[in-house]
A and B are shown apart, each in its own frame.
Chain A
Amino acid sequence: MTHARHAAEFVAHTERARWHDDALWYVREKRDTAARRIPEWEPLREAAAAIKRHTVAHLADHLERFEQNAQRLGAHVHWARDAEEHNEIVLELLRERDVRRVVKSKSMLTEECQLNPHLERHGIEVTDTDLGERIVQFRSEPPSHIIFPAIHLKRGEIGQLFHEKLGTEPGLEDPTRLTQAARAHLRNKFLEADAGLTGANFAIAETGGLVIVTNEGNADLGTSIPPLHIASLGIEKIIPRSADLGVFLRLLARSATGQAMSVYTSHFHGPRPDGELHIVLVDNGRTQLRADETLRDALSCIRCGACLNTCPVFRRSGGYSYQTPVPGPIGSVLSPSRDPEAHASLPHACSLCGSCSDVCPVKIPLHHQLLAWRGRLTEIAPRSRLERLAYAGFARSLLNVRRFRALAGLGRWFLRRLPRGILYHRANAWGRQRELPEIPKQSFRDAYAAGEHRERR
Chain B
Amino acid sequence: MRVGLFVPCYIDQLYPRVGFATLRVLEGCGLDVEFPSAQTCCGQPVANAGFPREARPVAERFLEVFEPYDAIVAPSGSCVATVRHHYRDWLGPSEALTRTATRTYELCEFLTDVVDILDTSGLTGCFPHRVGLHHACHGLRELRMATGSERVVPTEQHHDKARRLLDSIEGLELCDLTRPDECCGFGGSFAIKEEAVSVRMGLDRIEDHEHAGAEIITSLDASCLMHLNGLLRRRKNGPRVMHIAEILASVQETA
Contact = CB atoms under 8 A, between A and B. Distances in A.
Of B13, B142, B198, which is in contact with the most chain A CB atoms at under 10 Å from its CB? B13
A433 B195 contact: yes
Contacts of A378: 50-51
Interface of A is mostly: helix
B185 to A, nearest CB: 6
B102 interface: no
B66 interface: no
A35 B152 contact: yes
Contact of A445 (B37, B43, B54): B37
Interface residues of A, number: 77
Interface stretch (B124-132, B167-175, B222-230): B222-230
Interface residue range, chain B: 35 or more
Nearest to B179: A25
A32 B55 contact: no
B38 A375 contact: no
Interface of B is mostly: helix
Of A7, A39, A359, A395, which is in contact with the most chain B CB atoms at under 10 Å from its CB? A395
Interface in A345-363: 345, 347-355, 357-359
Contacts of B48: 352, 371, 374
A372 B183 CA distance: 20
Interface string A414-457: 00000000000000011011111101101111011100110011
Given A351-B183, A452-B20, A401 B38 contact: yes
A29 B182 CA distance: 12
16 contacts: A21-B204, A42-B153, A312-B183, A316-B201, A349-B197, A359-B150, A374-B48, A375-B53, A378-B50, A391-B49, A391-B50, A439-B14, A442-B16, A444-B11, A445-B7, A445-B37
Closest 7 CB pairs of A and B: A351-B187, A434-B230, A353-B183, A354-B141, A374-B50, A41-B152, A8-B196
Interface of B: 7, 9, 11-17, 19-20, 23-24, 27, 35, 37-41, 43, 45-55, 57-58, 61, 86, 89, 137-138, 140-142, 148-154, 179, 181-183, 185-202, 204, 226-227, 229-231, 233-234
Interface of A: 3-4, 7-8, 11-12, 14, 17, 21, 25, 32, 35-36, 38-39, 41-42, 310, 312-313, 316-317, 345, 347-355, 357-359, 371-372, 374-375, 377-378, 383, 387-388, 391-392, 394-395, 397-399, 401, 404, 408, 411-412, 429-430, 432-437, 439-440, 442-445, 447-449, 452-453, 456-457
